[in-house]
Structure 1
């Protein structure tokens, strides 16, 4: 069981908390081994919309190994991050958080708390576009990236404002528990899935899921399963109880590409992951990614990336 700590301070942004918390709670309902905690340096807080949060847990004296700590942003951060309770969080991070044993996710202005604790030095990070200059000042040795939804650098991830926390939470679920669970969560929350932190592995499985058509989603779910199955259009259409012509039309209309092109993008994304293992031959990568042959794999890869798979592996 992995512990997840949502760290709140006075006038916390309600959606910064609620969005990621709902993502992880739904993950738990589908079997993810997570345990959520709402913690703060004060027993009672007021959110950005005036909703009072009672019976919060205290900041833990020690953070369990492999725990995930989420720093939630606040309203009017220039003032509210200077309040005593917020400064107590900074001291707690300095004393208790260990990047070698824990993971950190910062939502919006939560990155400023991490910067004040010295946790962003030497790392790539981001925050809300209105806070970029302040983050650069607070973490002069960090590589602060603008115009990014979220950035992950080792055990520390940071996100832009408000809804970007949901994007980051979905990314964390995909990373730790797989894209299939992420798809289930996003569909349950009715989230458009075109947003990612420039992560091609994530986008391949999620970028074309920004629609609500159940037949296309069912076909995409089948195609997202292990790629050793090489679906034909006729087989796929039979599984979702439509004609091949209808499935092709629905796919283009709602997903924006053909079933063949969608399956091809998944194969290439899986191949990219497999190529990271130097012990796998090109032939093995091609087979496990679902290509008919190594020759077919090389042809498709070169058409997409302008280089051979072996050159991509070196890069």
Structure 2
């Protein structure tokens, strides 16, 4: 049985190392992480590690792993997790409820005890968050009706079909709608938890936690779950894979439809049909998504002028790149670069 380092009942649970007197005077923020059999291990441990690490930098989170009846659970990885208590024995009002998921979401939502526990805990919580397939449990409890939500990209269509009152966004790492935040798959739970820490204590503390956990960066909410360059591995038709590889290898090239089709040995019309059938995008839209990703990487890596980044990424002009950023990410390139190390999604329309 695994006890999570920093959880109540283990060394370091108070998390007061490095805390100031002012921080120690603040009331503790109760975070309940709901565990159940066959839950994904990292869905639980990722957020727990973020919140408990934040305590070493001045936060005051009281993190409790709970199960419906207080029993220990066996995760999908076969690792047992010890529950601190039954869910209904938690004291008073909760600051945050975190609901992880399991790969077989139908089994989870079919467990009336589990969904009832989610509903009861959510009613006592200031804010509610889910990781990966945990969104299905929130949806089953009615917590996502009329809200936008994210989940693992492979499950997005299933969530939308099963719960039509939920506005599912398949791409973002996490989506915040009111008091409910839902995240994409597995490791995105770490990004979500960092965003909640930033909401409570500011970007500096969240970045300190990310550095201690050796997280590459605190990724913004609107960042895509997956790289456009990974899509060719999913393409079935060899001509489509060839074109995608060519675009990914040199985003700054012109990539005219006729040239791409000729190189792949198909007609432009057939290439367009292949793209739409397998990616849902036109060849031009796919090329722009790769260029956008290239521009993001260039902005993150250095201080090149926006005009230079636009040229290197293949946009042709800074204005074209700005429009692409605004449409896809809701931010201007300069804002993206300035706030790169923040988990917040910036809505500043400044050029």
Which TM-score tier does this pair reach, normalised by the shorter chain?
A: 0.5 to 0.7
Q: What's the offset of the Cα at 1:255? A: 5.8
CA deviations 1:195-237 (Å, max 9, x no partner) are 22128xxxxxxxxxxxxxxxxxxxxxxxxxxxxxxxxxxxxxx
Q: Does 1:40 align with 2:40?
A: no
- Deviations 1:134-179, CA, capped at 9 Å, x for gaps: 2213332121111111000110000011111011111111111100
| RMSD, matched Cα | 3.1
Q: Paired residues, what number?
A: 217
3-state secondary structure, aligned to 1:22: helix
Distance 2:94 2:108 in 1: 29
- Residue by residue over 1:12-34, the C-alpha shift from the partner in whole angstroms, topping out at 9 and shown as x without a partner, is 11111111111111001212111
Aligned equivalents of 1:267, 1:110: Cα separation in 2 = 32
Partner of 2:79: 51
Q: Which residue matches 2:97?
A: 69
How many Å apart are 1:64 and its aligned residue?
3.4
- Go from structure 1 to structure 2 and tell me whether the alpha carbon gap of 1:25 and 1:15 turns closer, same or farther (over 3 Å shift): same
Q: CA deviation at 1:74?
A: 1.3
Does residue 128 of structure 1 match 2:173?
no
Local SS of the residue matching 2:217 = coil
User: CA-to-partner distance for each residue in 1:250-282, whole Å, 9 max, x for gaps?
Assistant: xxx996223999xx859976xxx9xx9xxxxxx
Matches for 1:152-301 after TM superposition, within 5 Å:
152-193=176-217, 195-198=219-222, 256-258=301-303
Please give the secondary structure, in 2, of the residue aligned with 1:130: coil
Residue range with higher mean Cα deviation, 131-140 or 114-123: 131-140
Q: Secondary structure at the match of 2:154?
A: helix
- The match for 2:169 is 145
For the pair 1:305 / 2:333, whether they are aligned, the reply is no
CA distance in 1, matches of 2:299, 2:163: 43
Look up the SS of the partner of 1:70 in the other structure: strand
Q: Is the 8 A contact 2:98 2:131 kept in 1?
A: yes
Change (3 A) 1:3 1:260: farther
Give unpaired runs (5+ residues) of structure 1: 200-252, 277-300, 307-315
Equivalent of 2:116 in 91, 99, 114: 91
- From the superposition, tell whether residues 194 and 29 of structure 1 become closer, same or farther in structure 2 (CA, over 3 Å): closer
The secondary structure found in structure 2 opposite 1:21 is: helix
Residues 255 and 24 of structure 1, relative CA distance in 2, 3 Å threshold: same
Decide which moves more: 139-148 or 164-173.
139-148
Q: Is 2:97–2:121's contact at 8 Å kept on the other side of the alignment?
A: no
Judged with a 3 Å threshold, the aligned counterparts in structure 2 of structure 1 residues 75 and 63 are, in CA distance, closer, same or farther, namely farther
Gaps of 5+ in 2: 1-27, 224-297, 307-333
Q: Do the aligned partners of 1:124 and 1:151 also contact (CA within 8 Å) in 2? A: yes
SS of equivalent to 1:196: coil
Kept in 1: contact 2:153–2:170 (CA 8 A): yes
Q: CA deviation at 1:63?
A: 6.5
- Residue matched to 2:106: 78
Inter-CA distance 150–266: structure 2 relative to 1 (3 Å threshold): closer
User: 1:208: which partner in 2?
Assistant: none
Distance 1:260 1:187 in 2: 27
TM-score by length of 1: 0.61
Task: Report the TM-score when normalising by structure 2.
Answer: 0.55
